[in-house]
Amino acid sequence: MAKITLKNTITSDSIGELPSVGTNAPAFTLVADDLSDKTLADYAGKKKLLNIVPSLDTGICATSTRKFNEQAGSLDDTVVLVISADLPFAQARFCETEGLKDVVALSTFRSSFPDDYQVKIIAGPLTGLCSRAVIILDAENNVIYTEQVPEIGQEPDYDSALSALKS
């Protein structure tokens, strides 16, 4: 169980630990902006950067989405998935307003993703949201990088994530 802090005070726990590097990623079904289901299989043959955030309606989540859009979205054979508990309509509005064309926003609405990937916050004021995490999968869906960001108000380690994605 990962301890998640909010403003440097331990306020939350996540349900468990992120999938381990070297393992095959759990299958998932998430919801796209048109309310269709998107699965891990929909991105077969591509590297996948999973930018998991509590809500796009917060500064740090918005910043990480913009940065990964800019720095990783145009890489060959790569897809950047931003995953949050926001409703698909809000995610689409955010991406349109921000002009983000190189990320795919997916909602955990109707999904077991937070439990399957062990990112569900289970205690504290953010209960039910996803913790901030980055998981990178290779083209065969093997986990090649993970980062559980310990402080909700902290940005992920972009350099390490991008380095793993490019290797």
Tell me the per-residue pLDDT of 108-126, one tens digit each, with 9 for 90 and over.
999 999 999 999 988 778 8
The catalytically annotated residue of 4, 25, 50, 61 is: 61
CB 126 within 8 A of CB 54: yes
The yes-or-no verdict on residue 13 having pLDDT over 60 is: no
* pLDDT of the residue at 10: 59
Using one digit for the tens of pLDDT, what is the confidence trace for 16-62? 789 999 999 999 999 999 999 999 999 999 999 999 999 998 888 88
Phi-psi region of 115 (alpha: psi -120 to 50; beta: other; left: phi over 0): alpha
CATH number, span 18-113+128-166:
3.40.30.10
Question: Catalytic annotation on 130?
Answer: no
130 φ, ψ to 5°?
-85, 145
Start-to-end CA span in the chain (Å)? 29
% residues pLDDT > 70 (the chain): 91
**Which pLDDT score is estimated for 58?**
83
Q: Which are the contacts of 142, defined by CB distance < 8 A and separation ≥ 6?
A: 22, 23, 24, 25
Q: For the chain, how are helix, strand and coil distributed in percent, rounded to 5?
A: 25, 30, 45
φ/ψ (deg, to 5) at 143:
-75, 120
Give Cα 78 distance to the centre of its chain: 15
- Domain borders along the chain are 18-113+128-166
pLDDT for residue 29: 97
Q: What pTM, to 2 d.p., does this model score?
A: 0.91
For position 62, what pLDDT does the model report?
A: 85
